[in-house]
Structure 1
Amino acid sequence: MSRYKGIKSKIVHSDLNPVFHLQTKECDAKELSPHLIKLARRSGQLNLSGRGLGTAPEKIWEINDLDEAEIRLLDVKLDRDSDGDRWWEHEPLHHLDLSSNSLTKISSKIQNLSTLTTLNLQDNGLESLPCEIGNLQSLTKLNVNYNKLTDIPNEFFQLRELKSLAISHNFLESLSSDGIGDLIMLENLEVSHNKLTVVPPGVGFLTRLKQLSMSHNDISDLPPDIGNLRVLQVLDLSYNKLTTLPPLGELRKLEMLYLQHNLLSSTPDLVGCACLKEAHFSDNSIKDVQPEVLENLPHLKVLNLRDNKLDALPDEVSSLRALIRLDLANNTLTTLPSSLGLLPHLQALQVEGNPLRGVRNDIIRCGTVRLLRYLRERWQSEGNTIEGEDEHGPLPGGAPDQSANGFPDRYNMLRGGKILSLANKSLATVPAEVFEEAKAVDVYSVDVSRNIISEVPSGLFSLGQTLKELNLASNRLTAIPSSLGLSCPNLTFLDLQKNFIETLPEELSSLNSLRELIIAFNKMKSIPSCVKDLPSLEILIARDNQITDVDLTILNGPKFLATLDLSNNDIHVVPPELGLLEKLRCLELSGNPFRVPRHSVLSKGTPAILSYLRDRIPH
C-alpha cells in the first residue's frame, strides 16, 4: 500500500502541464511575439489566425507606434547590412487576420489602425462590432462570417471605400435601409445564413455591386429597386420564402441566378438578361415556364427546374442553343417537346420522376444521348426538316454568311458579334490567315466544333488575350498543346468534349479566369491535375470518361466550384468529404459502379447527396 501512496503523492505534487488550460490575457499577449511584430512592421500584414485567442492582444492596436522600450532599442545606423529594426522602413499595418479564434469582442482601439485595408474576423464568437470600426476609412475588405452578430452599428456604414463585405452565418434580423445604400463602392455583399426577412431598398443604390448573396434567410419579398444593379453578375436568393419577383430584365450583366428552395409559382421575368448563363429554380412550386423568357436567353448553359410542378415545357426551349444541362426531374411532365433534340450542346437531360407517356422507360434509363436521339427521330417523323446533321444529331439553322473562300470575313464576324463560327464544316484544319482576320476585329469567341480537326490550329494562338471562349468539341483531338494556357490567358470558357484526349497539360493552370471547363466524352482516367490551380473555375463537366477516383486534393483547389458532373465514369468509391464542398450546387454521380450513395439518394438531387456524404464523415 505504501508504494501506491508514494506514487499518488508524486502525482499530486508534481508540476503537471495539462493539455487543456485556461487561456488568459497574458497567454493571448504572448501569441504576438516580438518576431511577429517585426515581420508585421516590415510587410504591413499580421496573421494571428487559428491561435486560440480569447482576447486580441492589446499590442495589436498600437503596432504602428513604438513604445518606450522599442525606442531605446532603435537601430539608427544607416548601415545597409545591419540586421537591426530600422524604423524608417516600417510599413503601417494594412492587413489584419484574426480569424478562427474565440474572440467575443473587438476593442474600440481598433480605430488606431486607420491604414487597414483588409480585416478578417471570420469564425469567432463576436456578438457585436465596436462603433469605432467606422473610422477605418481605408478599409476595402471586411469578413465577419461565422460569428454571433445580431445587429450592425450605424457608424459601420461610414466605410465608404468598402468593396467586399461578408457577414454570412450570423443572426442578423435586418440591415439599415439607409445605411447600406451609403456603401457606394461595394462590389461583393454576402449576408447568407442570417434571419433577414426583407431586402432593404437601399441595396438599389449599390450600383457597383457585382455579387449579391442573401441565401438561407426568411426573405419573402424583393424590392423593385433591385433592377438598379446594372452590373450585377451573381444573384443568390436561394433558400428563402419568395413567392413572386419583380421583373429582372434590367440586370443585363447577370450571369448566375440562384432561386432554388423558395415558394415561386412561376419563373421570373428575365427578358433582357441576355448574359445569363445559369438559372436555378429547383424546389419551388413552378407550374409553367413563359415562352418569351426562353426566347431571350441566348447564352444560358444551365437550367435547373427539378422538383417543381411543371406539367408542360414549351417548344421554345429549342431557342436555348447554348444549353448544356437541363434538369426537369421530379415534375408532372407527361411529354417532352421534340425540339429538345435540336439543342446542339445539350449534354445532360434529367427527366426521371415524371409520368412521361410518350417516352419508354428503357430509353430514359439509357441516358441523355439515347434520349436526345429519340427526340430528334420523333422531330423528323413529325415531318420537320433539318438543314444540318452530323453524328451527334440534326442541327437547326443554316450556315453563317461566308466569303468566297468558305470562311467568314471581317464584316461577317463583326456582324455576328465578334464571333468566329466554323462549326460543322468537315474541316481538317483552319488556315492561319482566318485567325488573322479574326484578330483584326477583336474576336473573343471561336467555335470550331463538330469538324475532323486532329490538332489545335496554331493560328488560334494569335488571338492571344482577346480570346475568351473556345469550343473545340466533337473533333479528333488527342492532346491539347501546353501553349494554349500561356497564349490565351483570359479564357473563361473551354469546351473539349467528344474528342480522344487522355489528359490536359499542367500549363493550363495559368488560366486564372477560366470559369467553365467541359472535358466530357474523352478518354481521361483521372481528373486533370491542372484543375487544382484554376481559381475561378465554377463548372467542371467530366462525364463519360474513364475516371476511377474522386481526387479531393484536386477538387478542393477551385474555391467557387458550383457544378461538378462525374456521371458515367468508373468511380468505385465516393469520398464522404466531397460533401464539404460548400459552393457545390449541382453534383452528378449517376452511371458509376459505386454502391453508396444508392440510387434512391442520387435521385433526390444535390442537397440530399451532399447531406448524405457529410453524415458519413467519420467523427
Structure 2
Amino acid sequence: MAKQSSVKSKRKLINPVFHLQTKEEDDNQLTKGMIKIVRRTGQLNLSGRSLAHVPEKMFTMYELTEEDTAKYIDFNKEPEEENWWQFKPLNYLDLSSNVLQEIPGKIGMFEDLTALNLQDNNITSLPPEICNLTKLTKLNLSHNKINLLPMEFYKLVELQVLSLAHNNLEKISKNFADLVMLQQLDLSHNILTKLPPGMGFLVRLTEINLSHNKLIELPPDIVNLRGLLKLDVTHNDLVYLPKMGELAKLQFLYAQHNNIEEIPDFEGCTHLQQVYFGNNYIKEVTTDFCENMSNLKILDLRDNKIEQIPNEIAMLQHLIRLDLTNNDLTDLPNSLGLLAHLQNLQLEGNKLKKIRGDIIKGGTMRILKHLKEQLDDEDLESVPKVSTMQHEAKTFPDKYTIKHSRSLNVTMKQLTSVPDDVFEEAKLAEVTIVDLCKNKLPSVPNGIQLVAENLTELNLSMNAISEIPEFISNCIKLKYFDLGNNLLSDLPECLSSLVGLRELVLSNNRFVHIPDCVYSMVGLEILLASDNKITDINVEGLKNLTRIATLDLTNNNMSHIPPELGNVTQLRTLELRGNCFRQPRYAILEQGTASVLSYLRDRIPK
C-alpha cells in the first residue's frame, strides 16, 4: 500500500513540474456551489485537485457578500424561517493528494475541525497556529516531507487517530506523551532512532505502527500500554524486546526484519494470536514460550538461526500456521503431530535428516501424520497437558465447561453428527467459539443455526463436508472460519455477507478457483487456499480485499501468475510455491513477498 501511494505521488508531480497552478487557479477550484455545500454540511473535500496553495477563498467562505445578504434576508418571512445565518461550521477538511508545500497559519481559524486529511502532499512543516484546532480527533499527515513537529502540535490533546507515516521525522519530543487520547498511532516509514520517554502514558492506544524506522530499542514504559491490541515494529534495528507480559490484551505482534536474538518473555500475554519474528537472529524456541502461548494461532519464525524445536511445541494447541522456513533444523519433534489445528507447516530451507524427502514434499498433513505415527510414551509425558487431552474419553463437554469457556470444543471424536441438544446448551451459554475439527462429519450440523448470531470462530476442518449451507451467512460476527481438509469445491454466494471475517481457511479441498463470495469479505486479512486445484488468480477480486495481508496459494494448478498481482501491495505474505508456472523463478520466490510483488509489477505491460 505504501509503495503504491508513493508511485501515485510521483505521477501526480509530473504536471506541476511544467505548470504549477497559480493562487488564482487554486482559488477557482473552490466554486460557489461547493461553498454552499460546505455551509450546509460543514465538510469540504479538495482532494486530488493539483493544488499548489491552499485556496485563499477557503478562509472567507463563511463571510456573507452583499449578494448573499440580498438573497437570504427577506423581511416578509416569519422569524423562525430566518435561519440563513445558521451555517454549519467546518468540521471535516480533506486536502490530500495535492502538491501543497505549506499550510498557512490561517488554518487555525477553523476551531471546530474534528478531522483533517493532509496526506500525500509536499508539506515540510506545520504552522504554530495548528494548536488552535483543539477539537481535532483525526489527523492524517502521511506521505509528506515533515522532519520536525512544532511544539504547538502537542497541544492537540483530543487526537484519537494520528498518522505521520512516510515522512522524514528523526525525533519526537517528550511532549508527545501529552496526546493521551490517542487510540491509533502510525509512525511508520520515518527515520526515528528512538522514541521519547513517556509513551507509556498513552494508555488508550490500541494500535501502534513503528515499522520501517531505525529504532534500536523500545522505551521500557511501552509495556504500560495495557489496552494495546496490535504492535508493529518490523524493519527496524531492534536487538531485543522488553518483557511483554504487561501487554495483557496484545493480539498481534509484528517484529520481522530486526536483529532480535531471543524471544522475549510473554508470560501474561494470554490473548496473543499472531506472532511474527521472521528475519531475525533467534536461536531458540523456549519451553516457557510454548507454555504461555495457549491461544497462539500463527507463529512466524522464518529466516532465523533455530536449531531445535522443543517437544513442548505441542502445547500450542490452537496453532494453525507455523513457518520455520530457512532455519538450521535437522530434526522435528514427534509431538508436532499432536497439533490438531495445524494447517500450514513451512519447512523449506532446513536440512532435515530424519524425515524422508518424499514425506516433506507431501505437505503439512503428510508430515504431521508421519510424526504422529512416531509418537511414544516419552513424547507424551513431555507434554502432559496434551496427553491428558488425547486420552479424554468423554465425547461432549458438560454444561459447566461450555459456560465457563463460552466455547463448544468437540475435536478428534470420530463424530458423524452432533445432536441438536448439544447446541441448545451452547446457545444458553452464549458460546462464541465452535470447534468440530478432526471428525468425520459429512455435512455441517444444523444445530449451528442456534448459535450463529454470537459465533466469532468456527472450525469445521478435517471432516468430510462437501457443501456449506446458506445458514452460515447468519454468522455475521464471524472472525475466523476454518474449512480446511474437506471435500468442498464451492461456497454459496450468500457468504459474501460475512464482511467482518478476518481469516478464512480453504486449504486441502477441491476448489478450482477462489469462490466469488470471498471477494466481498472486505474485512479479510488472511486467506489460506493451499493444496487445491486452483488454476488462476482473480486480481481484480483481490483488490477489493483492502486488508488482505496473507495469501497462501501453495500447491495448486496455476500455470500463470498475472503481473497485475504485483499491485496488491497490501500483501505481507504471499505463498506461491508448488505450482507449475515458469515465472517468477524459485530464486525470486525465495527472496520473499516484497521481491515477488516488485518482480511482478516490473512486468506489467506499459
Q: State TM-score, norm by structure 2.
A: 0.90
What's the counterpart of residue 226 of structure 1?
A: 222
Paired residues of 1:401 and 1:408 also in contact (CA < 8 A): no
What's the counterpart of residue 412 of structure 1?
A: 401
SS at match of 1:379: coil
Paired residues of 1:64 and 1:113 also in contact (CA < 8 A): no
**Residue of structure 1 aligned with 2:463, choices 454, 463, 475:** 475
Q: For the structure 1 residues 51 and 482, does the alpha-carbon distance in structure 2 shift closer, same or farther, using more than 3 Å as the test? A: farther
Cα displacement (A) at 1:108:
1.2
Identity %: 48
- 1:302 matched to 2:290: no
SS at match of 1:96: strand
- 1:428 matched to 2:416: yes
CA distance in 2, matches of 1:461, 1:64: 55
Residue by residue over 1:408-450, the C-alpha shift from the partner in whole angstroms, topping out at 9 and shown as x without a partner, is 33212134x1111122333333333322211222211111222
Paired residues of 2:381 and 2:387 also in contact (CA < 8 A): no
Q: Which residues of 2 match residues 48-197 of structure 1 at below 5 A?
A: 48-74=46-72, 87=84, 90-177=87-174, 179-197=175-193
Q: For the structure 1 residues 434 and 370, does the alpha-carbon distance in structure 2 shift closer, same or farther, using more than 3 Å as the test? A: closer
CA distance in 2, matches of 1:534, 1:553: 14
Q: For the structure 1 residues 490 and 382, does the alpha-carbon distance in structure 2 shift closer, same or farther, using more than 3 Å as the test? A: same
SS at match of 1:49: coil
SS at match of 2:544: coil
Cα displacement (A) at 1:88:
6.0
**Residue of structure 2 aligned with 1:345, choices 309, 331, 341:** 341
What's the counterpart of residue 427 of structure 2?
A: 439
CA distance in 2, matches of 1:64, 1:509: 45
Cα displacement (A) at 1:20:
5.7
Q: For the structure 1 residues 547 and 42, does the alpha-carbon distance in structure 2 shift closer, same or farther, using more than 3 Å as the test? A: farther
CA distance in 1, matches of 2:335, 2:266: 22
SS at match of 1:446: strand
Paired residues of 2:20 and 2:52 also in contact (CA < 8 A): no
**Structure 1 residues 105-114 or 233-242, which shifts more?**
105-114
What's the counterpart of residue 31 of structure 1?
A: 29
Bigger RCO of structures 1 and 2 (CA < 8 A, at least 6 apart): 2
Q: For the structure 1 residues 479 and 78, does the alpha-carbon distance in structure 2 shift closer, same or farther, using more than 3 Å as the test? A: farther
CA distance in 2, matches of 1:168, 1:413: 44
- 1:591 matched to 2:578: yes
SS at match of 1:397: helix
What is the identity, as a one-letter code, of the residue corresponding to 1:409? D
Aligned-CA RMSD value: 2.8
How many pairs were matched up? 587
SS at match of 2:240: coil
CA distance in 1, matches of 2:388, 2:535: 37
Q: For the structure 1 residues 533 and 115, does the alpha-carbon distance in structure 2 shift closer, same or farther, using more than 3 Å as the test? A: farther
**Residue of structure 2 aligned with 1:211, choices 182, 200, 207:** 207
Q: For the structure 1 residues 222 and 386, does the alpha-carbon distance in structure 2 shift closer, same or farther, using more than 3 Å as the test? A: closer
**Residue of structure 2 aligned with 1:526, choices 503, 508, 513:** 513
What's the counterpart of residue 456 of structure 1?
A: 444
CA distance in 1, matches of 2:441, 2:480: 19
Paired residues of 1:164 and 1:186 also in contact (CA < 8 A): yes
Q: For the structure 1 residues 484 and 367, does the alpha-carbon distance in structure 2 shift closer, same or farther, using more than 3 Å as the test? A: closer
- 1:549 matched to 2:536: yes
Residue by residue over 1:380-399, the C-alpha shift from the partner in whole angstroms, topping out at 9 and shown as x without a partner, is 59886999xxxxxx997237
Paired residues of 1:535 and 1:558 also in contact (CA < 8 A): yes
Q: State TM-score, norm by structure 1.
A: 0.89
What is the identity, as a one-letter code, of the residue corresponding to 1:457? P
Paired residues of 1:159 and 1:183 also in contact (CA < 8 A): yes
Residue by residue over 1:270-306, the C-alpha shift from the partner in whole angstroms, topping out at 9 and shown as x without a partner, is 1211111111111111111221011111121111111
**Residue of structure 1 aligned with 2:285, choices 280, 286, 289:** 289
CA distance in 2, matches of 1:76, 1:270: 71
Cα displacement (A) at 1:345:
1.6
Q: For the structure 1 residues 214 and 19, does the alpha-carbon distance in structure 2 shift closer, same or farther, using more than 3 Å as the test? A: closer
**Structure 1 residues 264-273 or 452-461, which shifts more?**
452-461
CA distance in 2, matches of 1:534, 1:50: 28
What's the counterpart of residue 276 of structure 2?
A: 280
Residue by residue over 1:98-121, the C-alpha shift from the partner in whole angstroms, topping out at 9 and shown as x without a partner, is 111101111211122222221111
Cα displacement (A) at 1:64:
4.3
Q: Which runs of 5+ in 2 are unaligned?
A: 1-15
Paired residues of 1:75 and 1:86 also in contact (CA < 8 A): no
Paired residues of 2:403 and 2:426 also in contact (CA < 8 A): no
Cα displacement (A) at 1:246:
1.1
- 1:261 matched to 2:248: no
Residue by residue over 1:338-374, the C-alpha shift from the partner in whole angstroms, topping out at 9 and shown as x without a partner, is 1112211212222221222212333323322222222
What's the counterpart of residue 599 of structure 2?
A: 612
What is the identity, as a one-letter code, of the residue corresponding to 2:426? A
Paired residues of 1:401 and 1:412 also in contact (CA < 8 A): no
Paired residues of 2:312 and 2:382 also in contact (CA < 8 A): no
Cα displacement (A) at 1:527:
2.0
What is the identity, as a one-letter code, of the residue corresponding to 1:278? Q
CA distance in 2, matches of 1:348, 1:456: 23
What is the identity, as a one-letter code, of the residue corresponding to 2:411? A
**Structure 1 residues 241-250 or 31-40, which shifts more?**
31-40
- 1:577 matched to 2:564: yes
